[in-house]
Structure formats: structure tokens, C-alpha cells
Structure 1
Amino acid sequence: MDGLRLVGQVPSKLAVLFIDYVVSRGLRDDVYFSQEGDPGADELGVVLRAQRAGDILLTRPVFVAREWADRVYDTSEGLIPDEEWRVHA
């Protein structure tokens, strides 16, 4: 993603950079947030999960195939398996 570091980042800081990245590519209508507050973009097939690392939250991207990209961010209606949404540690 053009040098945007997605792994091990502070979630709130990466969310701003991610939104800027998506907007700069003309995909403004494609930024959504999961019910847990994780940003995602259908067009890119990615949701940026926050995962606990001890007492710290860091980012962990989840990429999906185009067939699963619709509502990649949606914890209840998207196609990402429920097990993924239950990962916290």
C-alpha cells in the first residue's frame, strides 16, 4: 500500500493515515468502520484490526479475496469467519 505500514501500529494513528490513503485514491465512499471501530475498505479488501499485545493495542491487517470484500469490515454480515472477530490476544 505504497509504503503505508499496516502491522504493529497505534490503531488511532493508522486509522487517520489509512483514511487519507483511501481518499487520495478516489475511494472516499469506501472507508467504513466495523462495529468494533476498526477501519476497512471493500475496494481494497482489507480491515485494520486492533489486537492486544500485553497492555498495548497494535494493528493487524486482515486481507481478503475480492469475493469476500463486500462488507469486509462488518462483524455480523460480512464474510470474514466469526473466529477472526473473536481474536484479541
Structure 2
Amino acid sequence: MDWELVPLEGVGPLSFGMRIAEVAAVLPGMTELRRFQADPSFRETRGVEFGTGRAEPAVYAYFIGGRLFCVAVDAVHGPQVTLWGRELTACVPADLELFLLHAHGCEVLDVSYGPRGNPGVNGLGLVVRVQKVVSGVVTRPVMVGRAWADRCTDDWEGAIPECEWVGRLWTPPGKPGSWPPPGLDTHWGSWQPPF
């Protein structure tokens, strides 16, 4: 399954601003696997995990006030997301980073890095995360709509839910490989990351 990213508007059949029932209706072959609180600081931020086949997570949809504002795609079971013909899902991180930096150097994109090292483009509402798979680490796109794109690459101040920042980091050698690092006292209280 291939989905085109339409920056700030939507991805594949999903348009930012849709309601949960509308999202479910346009995801043929996927079923809702579960709902969860996506962020410890913002209780109104809800996540819905959609999956395929044997309950394998494929798409994470995030809602505020019942409206879709963020979509993340699983690198293994999710659709292949493309931007201008370039694949964003399940890529070698260094290769995709070169693509982004080349576009930045040509003044096509304004690439920035968040505090945890993830590259992205606020103007596209795109952050590239990494996901550990059997063969190593591959890319996982996280996308937001226009109203939430400001500082979306900033994992402290942007709108992307905390659960999307947990796990494997896009880091240079010698830096901690996951968030939160072992022993760090988080601000989460009783909240636990859903995956």
C-alpha cells in the first residue's frame, strides 16, 4: 500500500481534521486495535492504533477534540509513504537524511533537528523517527497538519504526542540510543508509553 504525503493537508486517504469514524472508514483492510492516552501532559490527546492481518500495528492516528492532527506509520506493517516520489517509510536513516539535507542545501526544505536528534521539516509537518526492526534500524514518518506544524520537530514544545518520542532515537554514535535513557526521572507520573 502506497500513500502520498500532501504536506500539512493529509497522507494517503487521511485528511487532517477527520473524526475517528471517518479515519476508520477510509482505512480498508485495517481495523481499530486499541485507543490510548497519547501524552501524559495533555489528557485530551488520544491515540488510535489501526492494524492489519493478525493485529499488527500499521498506522497510529492522533486526535485532539476528536479531530485528526497527527499520523505515524509503522515501518514494518504500515503503508509506504512518499514525498515527491521519495520513499519515507522503512528507509536507511542515513540515506533519507542525505535526501533531506540535499533539499535543505538547495533551499527547497528548511530541515531542523529536535532536541532528541530527529530530523524534520516544520514547513511540511514532517518528522522522521527511527524504528528498530529485525535487520537494524529504519525510518518511520510522523506527520501533522498545518495547525500543528509550528515547531513539530521540537519534541519538547511541538504538538507531536510524547508516545511518539519514546523509544529508539536518531542519534550520532556515542549518544544514548533510546528515550528515556535508563534511570531518568520523567515527568509522566502514572502514565506509561502505550508501546
- The aligned residue for residue 4 of structure 1 is 86
One-letter amino acid of the counterpart of residue 67, structure 1: A
Q: Secondary structure at the match of 2:132?
A: strand
Q: What is the distance in 2 between the residues matched to 1:14 and 1:67?
A: 25
Q: What is the distance in 1 between the residues matched to 2:114 and 2:135?
A: 22
The aligned runs of 1:26-37 (5 Å cut-off) are: 26-27=108-109, 30-37=110-117
One-letter amino acid of the counterpart of residue 93, structure 2: P
Q: What is the distance in 1 between the residues matched to 2:160 and 2:96?
A: 21
Looking at secondary structure, tell me which structure has more helix per residue: 1
TM-score (norm. length: structure 1)? 0.84
Aligned residues: 87
Q: What is the distance in 2 between the residues matched to 1:81 and 1:23?
A: 29
Q: Shift in Å at residue 9 of structure 1?
A: 0.6
Q: Which deviates the most, 79-88 or 43-52?
A: 79-88
Q: Is 2:101 the counterpart of 1:19?
A: yes
Percent identity at matched positions?
Answer: 38
Can you give the 5+ residue segments of structure 1 that lack an aligned partner in the other structure?
A: none
Q: What is the distance in 1 between the residues matched to 2:142 and 2:105?
A: 20
Q: Shift in Å at residue 21 of structure 1?
A: 2.9
- The aligned residue for residue 63 of structure 1 is 143
Q: Shift in Å at residue 3 of structure 1?
A: 1.1
Q: Shift in Å at residue 63 of structure 1?
A: 0.8
Can you give the 5+ residue segments of structure 2 that lack an aligned partner in the other structure?
A: 1-82, 169-194
